[in-house]
C-alpha cells in the first residue's frame, strides 16, 4: 500500500458524508442528518483553528477555509433537501443541535457597475449606498435595489437578482463539541483498523534480512 492510499483511508470523511459532499449521494433519512451536523461542527472548529494560524501561513489556510466553508454549504443544502422531502421545517437532535428554516432573500449580482452607477446617479441615490470612491455598502445597496426592483426600476444590464430561497439555521448545543470530538476519535480508530486490515499484520524479520539492512 502506498502513502496516497494510506492518506485516503486516514483522512477521509465518513463514507456517507464524503459521498454527500462529492455529490454522489443525498441525505435520504432524517437520522442521517446528525452525522452531517457533527461534520459541520468539525469543519467550523477547523475553520476557527485555521483563523488563529492565518498570521503565519495566510494563503494555504485561506484555501483550506474556503474548502471547509464550501463543504459546510453542501451539507446544509443536503440537510435542507432532506427536510423538504420529508416536509419537515424543524428538527431537534438532543445534545447536538436544533434546526429550522428561514426565508432567504436572493442576492444581487452586479453585472455592470458603471451602468448601475450611472443609473443611481440619475436618480440622485448613489450617495445613499456608496462612498466617494463608489464602493458600495452591500447591505444598503441590497435594500435599495430591492426597493427599486419593486417598482421595476433596475436596468437588466446593470444588476440581476437571484431567486429567493430558504437557508438552514443551525443552533448547536453546548455539548456538541464533546460529542463531535468523540465521533472524530471513533472515526479515526475505525480508519486505523481499516488500514491495519488492508496492510495486514507486520511480518517478523529474519536474521538474514536484519543483517542485510543498511542502517
| Grid cell at residue 69 | 466553508
User: Rounded CA gap, 90 and 101, in Å?
Assistant: 7
Average pLDDT for 14-22? 83
Burial of 138 (0-12, 13-18, 19+ CB in 10 A): exposed
Average pLDDT for 178-189? 82
Per domain, the residue ranges of the chain are 1-98+172-200, 106-163
Q: How far is C-alpha 84 from the geometric centre of its chain's CA atoms?
A: 20
- Is it the case that residue 207 has pLDDT exceeding 70? no
| Grid cell at residue 86 | 420529508
pLDDT digits (tens, 9 = 90+) for 150-169: 999 999 888 999 988 888 88
- Is it the case that residue 44 has pLDDT exceeding 60? yes
What global pTM score does this model have?
A: 0.47
- Angle between helices 58-85 and 33-53 in degrees, nearest 10: 160
Supply the mean pLDDT for the chain: 81
- Is it the case that residue 30 has pLDDT exceeding 70? yes
pLDDT confidence bin for 82, thresholds 50/70/90 = very high
Average pLDDT for 3-20? 58
- Angle between helices 176-199 and 33-53 in degrees, nearest 10: 100
Q: What is the pLDDT of residue 97?
A: 92
Amino acid at each position: 500500500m502506498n502513502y496516497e492510499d494510506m492518506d485516503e483511508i486516514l483522512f477521509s470523511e465518513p463514507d456517507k458524508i464524503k459521498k454527500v459532499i462529492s455529490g454522489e449521494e443525498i441525505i435520504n433519512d432524517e437520522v442521517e442528518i446528525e452525522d452531517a451536523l457533527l461534520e459541520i461542527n468539525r469543519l467550523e472548529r477547523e475553520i476557527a483553528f485555521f483563523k488563529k494560524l492565518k498570521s503565519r501561513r495566510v494563503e494555504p489556510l485561506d484555501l483550506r477555509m474556503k474548502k471547509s466553508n464550501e463543504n459546510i454549504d453542501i451539507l446544509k443544502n443536503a440537510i435542507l433537501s432532506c427536510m423538504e422531502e420529508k416536509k419537515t421545517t424543524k428538527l431537534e437532535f438532543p445534545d447536538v443541535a436544533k434546526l429550522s428554516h428561514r426565508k432567504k432573500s436572493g442576492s444581487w449580482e452586479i453585472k455592470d457597475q458603471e451602468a448601475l452607477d450611472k443609473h443611481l446617479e440619475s436618480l440622485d441615490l448613489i450617495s445613499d449606498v456608496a462612498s466617494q470612491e463608489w464602493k458600495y455598502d452591500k447591505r444598503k445597496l441590497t435594500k435599495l435595489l430591492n426597493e427599486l426592483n419593486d417598482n421595476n426600476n433596475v436596468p437588466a444590464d446593470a444588476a440581476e437578482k437571484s431567486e429567493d430561497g430558504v437557508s438552514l439555521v443551525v443552533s448547536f448545543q453546548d455539548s456538541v463539541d464533546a460529542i463531535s470530538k468523540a465521533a472524530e476519535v471513533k472515526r479515526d480508530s475505525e480508519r486505523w483498523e481499516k488500514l491495519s486490515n488492508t496492510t495486514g499484520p507486520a511480518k517478523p524479520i529474519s536474521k538474514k534480512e536484519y543483517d542485510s539492512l543498511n542502517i
